[in-house]
Amino acid sequence: MEHKNINVKLKVWRQKNSNDKGTFETYDAKNISQEMSFLEMFDVLNEELIAEGKDPIAFDHDCREGICGMCSMYINGRPHGPWEANTTCQLHMRAFNDGDTIVVEPWRANSFPVIKDLMVDRSAFDRIIQAGGYISVNTGNAVDANALPVDKAKADAAFAAAACIGCGACVAACKNSSAMLFVSAKVAHLNQLPQGEPEKNTRVLNMIAQMDKEGFGACTNTGACEAVCPKEISLTNIARLNADYAVASLTATK
C-alpha cells in the first residue's frame, strides 16, 4: 500500500457546555499520514492548537482498540464514520482523500447532553444497566464449568449480544433517539442464559422503564441502529426484547 500524507479541512462542533449554543469551527489539518487513526489526527490538531494558545478540542477516548465505546463522533453524517462495523478509533485517515472536508459532530440526542465539544454524557446508559443489567448471585466458590448446561445456539446468541460496547451509535443514528438496540442487547445476553432466567421478567420491565425515564424515544423499525452498530448487534434482539416484555407484563404481579 502506498503511504501518503494528506491535507484535510475539518468542520468541528465546538460547544463550551450543555447550556452553550455551540457552533462549527473550521481547521486545516495538514500533512496528515493516512496511516494515522482518526483520533491520532485529532491529537496532532490539538497539539497545534495548544501551541497556538488555543483551547484544544475535547473528545472522548480510552482504549483506542474498539472495545470501550468511548470514541463517539458523528463523522460526515454517520456515527463512527464511513467504514462498516468500525469504531471511530479504528477509523484510519486512508478512508479520506487529499482535500476532503470532514464534518465532525457529537451524538445528537436529548438523553446524551453535550459536556463539551464532541463529548457527551452517556450516564443514562449506566442507569439503565443499574436498573437490571446484572445477575444477582451470592459470592462463594466458583461453580464448575459444566454445572449448568447451556444450549449452543443460545450461548452463541448471548455472546453476540454481549459484544455491545454501549457506544451510543444506535441512539445517534435513530431519528427518535431510541435506545432499544442497546437495551435489547444488554437484556438478551443475560436472559438467554440459565443464570439470568430467575430475574428475566423483572429485568425486562425495570430496564425498559428506566429507558423511558431517561427520555429515549420509541423504536422506529427502520434499522438505522443495526446499520451503524460497530459490533453489528442484530435487530433480532429488539424483537426478542418485545416478546420478553409482553410476557413479563402479562405475568407481573400488581
pLDDT, averaged across the chain: 94
Of 80, 115, 150, the residue that ends a domain is 115
What pLDDT shows up at residue 172? 97
Angle among Cα 238, 242, 246 to the nearest 5 degrees reads 170
Residues 149 and 205 in one domain: yes
CATH number for the domain harbouring residue 95: 3.10.20.30
Helix, strand, coil shares of the chain, percent, nearest 5, are 40, 15, 45
Lowest mean pLDDT among 36-40, 44-48, 140-144, 216-220: 140-144
pTM for this model (two decimals): 0.94
Angle among Cα 201, 213, 245 to the nearest 5 degrees reads 25
What pLDDT shows up at residue 145? 72
Q: What are phi and psi of 170, to 5 degrees?
A: -60, -40
What pLDDT shows up at residue 208? 97
Residues 140 and 108 in one domain: no
Mind listing the pLDDT tens digit for each residue in 197-229? 999 999 999 999 999 999 999 999 999 999 999
What pLDDT shows up at residue 253? 65
Residues 107 and 175 in one domain: no
Residues 131 and 230 in one domain: yes
What pLDDT shows up at residue 1? 57
Pairing relationship of beta strands 101-105 and 74-75 according to DSSP bridges: antiparallel
CA 86 – CA 233 distance, rounded (Å): 12
Residues 130 and 109 in one domain: no
Residues 148 and 213 in one domain: yes
| Statement: residue 89 has pLDDT above 70 | yes
Residues 33 and 141 in one domain: no
| Statement: residue 3 has pLDDT above 90 | no
Structural domain of 246: 123-251
Residues 176 and 131 in one domain: yes
Average confidence (pLDDT) over 45-67? 96
Give the position of cell 463517539. 72
Residues 237 and 128 in one domain: yes
Of 87, 115, 143, the residue that ends a domain is 115
Per DSSP, what are the bridge partners of residue 24? Answer: 13
State the pLDDT confidence band at 234, using cuts at 50, 70 and 90: very high
CATH number for the domain harbouring residue 173: 1.10.1060.10
| Statement: residue 231 has pLDDT above 60 | yes
Residues 110 and 131 in one domain: no
Residues 106 and 140 in one domain: no
What pLDDT shows up at residue 138? 74
Secondary structure string (H, E, C) spanning 59-76: CCCCCCCCCCCCCCCEEC
What pLDDT shows up at residue 170? 97
Residues 136 and 88 in one domain: no
| Statement: residue 248 has pLDDT above 80 | yes
Average confidence (pLDDT) over 231-254? 92
The answer to whether 136 touches 39, Cβ cutoff 8 Å, is no
Of 90, 115, 140, the residue that ends a domain is 115
| Statement: residue 254 has pLDDT above 70 | no
What pLDDT shows up at residue 147? 82
- What is the domain count for the chain? 2
Average confidence (pLDDT) over 104-125? 97
